[in-house]
Amino acid sequence: MIKYLKERIWLVYTILAAFCWGIWGILTKFISIDVSPFITHLMFTIGALFTLPLVIRSCKIEEVSIKAISGGIGASILVVLGNVSIYQSFKMGGQAAMVIPFTNLYPMVTIIIALLIFKEKLNWINYLGILIIMPAILLLSGQSQIFNDPLHIFQTTGLKVWFLFAFLSLLLFGLFSALQKVISRYLSTGWSYLSFVISSVLVSVCFIVFGLIDFNFPQKTLWFGSAAGFLDGLGVLAIYSAYRAKGKASKVSSIGGTLQQVFTVVLALIFLKRENLSGSNYGHCPCYIRGITAFVGTEDHKTSQ
């Protein structure tokens, strides 16, 4: 097992990212629902700043160009806009039970980009894993009704404004996930992550300048929001490390997205005992793990990374 993971160090980083994001999902439940997305982003930014000591020493000025770091910052802004789009979808009437599972399908966008643009190669076992993983993301979100009555879901969704914002978020998340692969080719892991933090800080400053942040928020929000931001930052750092370790975008995004849901469900069962989790949330987790195993498949070192 150790040898297997050493040969696939990208998978170790992906699992680490999913674990961090799984804890992040638990911590966000403790943030007041009355807090605006702008304040939430500010708290996440504060938390991410505490992760900088992990990479700042490895960021050498002579190793980076203005063009590369600007591209990294620009790409990182996409994920911030994606978060804002989610909350705007809620504001326009979208229900979390529909918006969250839908946007969790962003790995499909990454897979399409990886196959069509990056020309990544997958074998039939990998494709079998995709067929298991994508439904798993929805089921682990507790949305099995999408499979029970899909026609009703699509009829009630339509092309409403909230759905358009949710769709925009899905595209932005998927595009950013794919661009992380590109960024890691031109920037070291440290500089890639630093560009992410810089973009987060810039957006937070814009929110403050335009008066979108009311600093009169509960102290609990500061602590839980900052802790969540710290873990979110660690997750992003781990994903950049996975790409630098030659992980394929199609595999990293899909496996990370599914395992994040698995970790969130397991942690919710342990620490949030009042959570009402159905069998679709956790009863089939072993099946989803087998899907991930199929998706990892056998590594073909001759295919392009």
- 148-160 residue pLDDT tens: 555 555 555 556 7
Question: 3-state DSSP: the chain helix, strand, coil percent, rounded to 5?
Answer: 75, 0, 25
State the Cα–Cα distance between residues 156 and 145, nearest whole angstrom.
13
pLDDT for the residue 20: 95
pLDDT for the residue 99: 73
Domain ranges of the chain: 2-296
Is the pTM value of this prediction over 0.85?
Answer: no
What the block records as the tokens of 153 is 């879901």
Assess whether pLDDT exceeds 80 at residue 261.
no
Q: What is the mean pLDDT of residues 239-245?
A: 93
pLDDT for the residue 204: 93
What the block records as the tokens of 151 is 């026609």
Residue 166 burial by CB count (10 A; 0-12/13-18/19+): exposed, middle or buried?
buried
Rounded to whole angstroms, what are the CA distances from 290 to 56, 143, 285? Answer: 38, 20, 9
Residue 36 burial by CB count (10 A; 0-12/13-18/19+): exposed, middle or buried?
middle
Assess whether pLDDT exceeds 60 at residue 88.
yes
State the Cα–Cα distance between residues 91 and 94, nearest whole angstrom.
7
pLDDT for the residue 305: 38
pLDDT for the residue 87: 73
* Distance, first Cα to last Cα, the chain: 23
State the Cα–Cα distance between residues 64 and 40, nearest whole angstrom.
31
Q: What is the 3-state secondary structure (H, E, C) of 130-144?
A: HHHHHHHHHHHCCCC
Report CA 20 to chain centroid distance, whole Å: 10
CB 166 within 8 A of CB 69: no
More confident residue, 302 or 211: 211
More confident residue, 299 or 83: 83
CB 192 within 8 A of CB 64: no
What the block records as the tokens of 189 is 């892991």
| φ, ψ at 300 (rounded to 5°) | -105, 100
More confident residue, 149 or 217: 217
pLDDT for the residue 302: 40
State the Cα–Cα distance between residues 35 and 72, nearest whole angstrom.
29
What the block records as the tokens of 195 is 């560009």
pLDDT for the residue 153: 54
Comparing C-alpha atoms, which of 129, 99, 124 is closest to residue 253? 129
State the Cα–Cα distance between residues 13 and 20, nearest whole angstrom.
11
Q: How confident is the model at residue 139 (pLDDT cuts 50, 70, 90)?
A: low
Give the tens place of pLDDT for each residue, 150-189.
555 555 555 678 888 888 999 999 999 999 989 988 999 9
State the Cα–Cα distance between residues 156 and 211, nearest whole angstrom.
36
pLDDT for the residue 159: 61
Give the tens place of pLDDT for each residue, 101-122.
678 788 889 988 988 898 887 7
State the Cα–Cα distance between residues 103 and 126, nearest whole angstrom.
22
Give the tens place of pLDDT for each residue, 15-66.
999 999 989 878 877 776 667 888 888 999 999 999 999 999 999 888 888 8
Q: What is the mean pLDDT of the chain?
A: 79
109-130: burial string, b at 16+ Cβ within 10 Å, e else: bbbebbeeebebebeeebeebb
